[in-house]
Amino acid sequence: MDSFWGNIFRNRESEEDSLYAILKRIPIFRSLKNREVRAVERILHQRDYQPGEIVFQQGNPGVGMYIIHSGNVEVIFEPTGQVLAELSDGEFFGELGLIDESPRSATVVAKSDCKLFGFFQSDLRDLIDRNPRLGVKIVMQLVSTIGERLKRSNEQVQELRSELYVLNQKEHTTELSDG
Amino acid sequence: MDKVVNRWIRIIFYGVLLIVVLSILAQISDLVQLLIISALLAYVLDPVVSRMEGRGMSRTVATVLLFMVSGFMASVFAVFSMPVISSEFVDMREGFDPEKTRLLLAKIDTFIRNELSFLGLQDLSLTGSMAQTFIDYGKALFQNLRSVVSVFSSLIITPFVVFFLLKDGRQIKKGLISLVPNRYFEFFLNLIYKMDQQLGNYLRGQFLDAFIIGVLSTIALLLLDVKYALLIGTFAGFANLIPYIGPLCGAAVAVLVSLLETGDLLQVVYIALAFGIVQLIDNVFVQPNVVAKTVNLSPLVVLFVVIIGGRFFGVLGMLLSVPVTGILKVLFQEWQQTSQQYHLRYTPEASAAGQLVAARAGQQDQSDIHYIGTRRAGSN
């Protein structure tokens, strides 16, 4: 009997520990204390997906982010079906949905059996009301993550502009030499 | 043609299902009322517990503390006000002063016979028939009010249910959300969040408005020295939950009591004026600041739901019918708005991602066939 209950609790504990470890690796939760991570764990929604199942669809309003506990998902750009990224255990997506309800910029599909944990805007707002200190910590980290991503996007835009400028220059030189 | 027939079959099926559910609910109306009252109270008190949680308390401690404070306040209220209210209640139930009632009805009788003789009501005997009917009706009304939900079960079960709804409400909600299929999950999450906001504002506004009107009416009646002021004021507050009809009912009860007790027509004018001023304050100052404007119900709808509520659940049903209809209206509005935002008719099969997945699944099937085929070939 003991071993039966022991097995059940061990599995549960190991699952909770692995979720805890995953949360600690995510930038948004990295600066949280152990007690605070446990508080976040309690408000997450566990969702299980089968291969091919759509997690969310491009154009629908964002409601929050997902953390991959196990499995793989693909981020797909709708009009073309182009696969933008493949994400696996410990990675997260959809974090812009925590800020506002702007439409999702891509569709996410489960590639294998997936266990995801959803962290949603409504729960974040509720958390800010109940525990403003923890809420502000998460929001600051979220802003920092999004800011980092924006900086990277700006750098990429700059690089692309430079490349475009070089290409234009080359084309202009060729035209002159042909002329 | 088949589609139209199927649609009608579906409509009839849902209609029958609705009737069955309603009749089951009507059969267990006491329990339904208790649950509705508990849920409404839990909804109104939830922000208080959440705010206490924000100050570092656990949900359980916050709920217990709120119950202790509420219990203390209820005890204080019971010690000071309940004897007054219950004695007012008993006085009222015993029937109004039969002598004064008879005199008033006699006055009306004479007035109709002399001044309104053209109506041909000379044989009218209000004093005899109406007095008895009225007194019996008064008794029956208050007996019904008491028997709607027995005092014992309300006092024990309601706080118990409210406590658990407050303490475990979040887990219950999370558990219910986990049952939603993946395909509709985000849609439902969004819907529930918006409904939650709207409903919270609506219900808290309604209760606060009723409380303010109750207090103002009681003060006005006390100033006018009307008997049973506390009881009528409390009734006027609750009646205010019903728009259009409620305020009239509150004023009508006060006027009736005053007429039967004193027969002073000048006081009736003062009472009507006082209720008019209370309604003015309500419309100009209280409602615009307290009650959510999104849940405006038309007078016709209010009339219908009050009749239906009264028919199925008695006096309490009449009081609860408007907030419940408000809740249903908010649910419907939010469902419509959220549906417009989501592409519910946009099947995953029609999206590029869905097609990609389907194509992959097809390839995998083919490769399986190919694999099985080659193995068979190899084995041969």
DSSP code per residue over B71-129: HHHHHHHHHHHHHHHHHHHHHHHT-S-HHHHHHHHHHHHHHHHHHTGGG--TT--HHHH
- Kindly give the interhelix angle for B151-178 and B59-93, rounded to the nearest 10 degrees: 140
- Four-point Cα dihedral B54, B57, B63, B64, nearest 10: -150
CB pairs < 8 Å spanning A and B:
84
Note whether A57 contacts B174, CB cutoff 8 Å. no
Averaged pLDDT for residues A5-14: 53
Cβ contact A95:A105 at 8 Å: no
Q: Is B196 on the interface with A (CB under 8 A)?
A: yes
- Four-point Cα dihedral B22, B25, B26, B32, nearest 10: -140
**Which range, of A111-120, B217-226, B341-350, averages the lowest pLDDT?**
B341-350
Task: Name the superfamily (CATH) of residues A2-178.
Answer: Jelly Rolls (2.60.120.10)
Cβ contact B199:B44 at 8 Å: no
What would the DSSP string read from start to end of B336-373? HHHHHHTTTTS-GGGSHHHHHHHHHHHHHHHHHHHHHH
**Which range, of B15-29, B70-84, B143-157, B181-195, averages the lowest pLDDT?**
B143-157
Q: How far apart are CA B88 and CA B230, in angstroms?
A: 8
pLDDT band at B199 (very low <50, low <70, confident <90, very high): confident
Of A99, A94, A117, nearest in space to A40 by CA:
A117
Residue B246, pLDDT score = 79
What's this model's pTM, rounded to 2 decimal places? 0.67
Residue A143 pLDDT greater than 60, yes or no:
yes
The DSSP bridge partners found for residue A61 are A103
DSSP collapsed to 3 states, A34-71:
HHHHHHHHHHCEEEEECCCCEEECCCCECCEEEEEEEC
pLDDT band at B262 (very low <50, low <70, confident <90, very high): confident
Q: How far apart are CA B129 and CA B126, in angstroms?
A: 6
Q: Which 3 state secondary structure label does DSSP give A6?
A: helix
Q: Which 3 state secondary structure label does DSSP give B137?
A: helix
CA distance B186 to chain A (A): 7
Largest CA distance in chain B: 117
Sheet with A64-70, edge to edge strand ranges: A45-49, A114-120, A64-70, A92-93
Cβ contact B333:B344 at 8 Å: no
Q: How far apart are CA A38 and CA B99, in angstroms?
A: 72
Q: Is B168 on the interface with A (CB under 8 A)?
A: no
Averaged pLDDT for residues A103-128: 91
Note whether A79 contacts B174, CB cutoff 8 Å. no
Q: Please give the backbone phi and psi of residue A114, each rounded to the nearest 5 degrees, phi first.
A: -125, 145
Residue A136, pLDDT score = 92
Averaged pLDDT for residues B27-33: 74
What would the DSSP string read from start to end of B138-201? HHHHHHHHHHHS-HHHHHHHHHHHHHHHHHHHHHHHHHHHHTS-HHHHHHHHHHHHHHHHHHHH
> Closest to B356 (Cβ–Cβ): which among A81, A126, A129?
A81
What residues of chain B lie within 8 A of the CB of A109, using their CB? 353-354, 356-357
* Per-residue model confidence as pLDDT tens digits over B316-359: 777 778 778 877 887 788 788 777 777 654 455 566 777 777 77
Mutation target to probe the A interface, by most A beta carbons within 10 A, among B190, B192, B363, B365 is B190
Cβ contact B230:B73 at 8 Å: no
**Neighbour count for residue B67 (Cβ, 10 Å):** 18
pLDDT above 70: percentage of residues in chain B: 70
How is chain A split into domains, by residue range?
Answer: 2-178
**Which range, of B216-220, B308-312, B374-378, averages the lowest pLDDT?**
B374-378
How is chain B split into domains, by residue range?
Answer: 186-341, 346-380
What would the DSSP string read from start to end of B261-291? HT--HHHHHHHHHHHHHHHHHIIIIIHHHHS
Q: Please give the backbone phi and psi of residue A32, each rounded to the nearest 5 degrees, phi first.
A: -80, 150
Residue A74, pLDDT score = 93
* Per-residue model confidence as pLDDT tens digits over A39-97: 899 899 999 999 989 999 888 888 999 999 999 999 998 878 888 999 999 899 998 88
Identity of residue A139: V
Q: Is A86 on the interface with B (CB under 8 A)?
A: no
Averaged pLDDT for residues A144-165: 91
Residue B379, pLDDT score = 33
Q: How far apart are CA B100 and CA B259, in angstroms?
A: 9
Strands (E) in chain A, as ranges, are: 45-49, 54-56, 64-70, 73-77, 82-87, 92-93, 107-110, 114-120
Question: Residue A46: CB partners within 8 Å, gap ≥ 6?
Answer: A69, A115, A116, A117, A118, B178
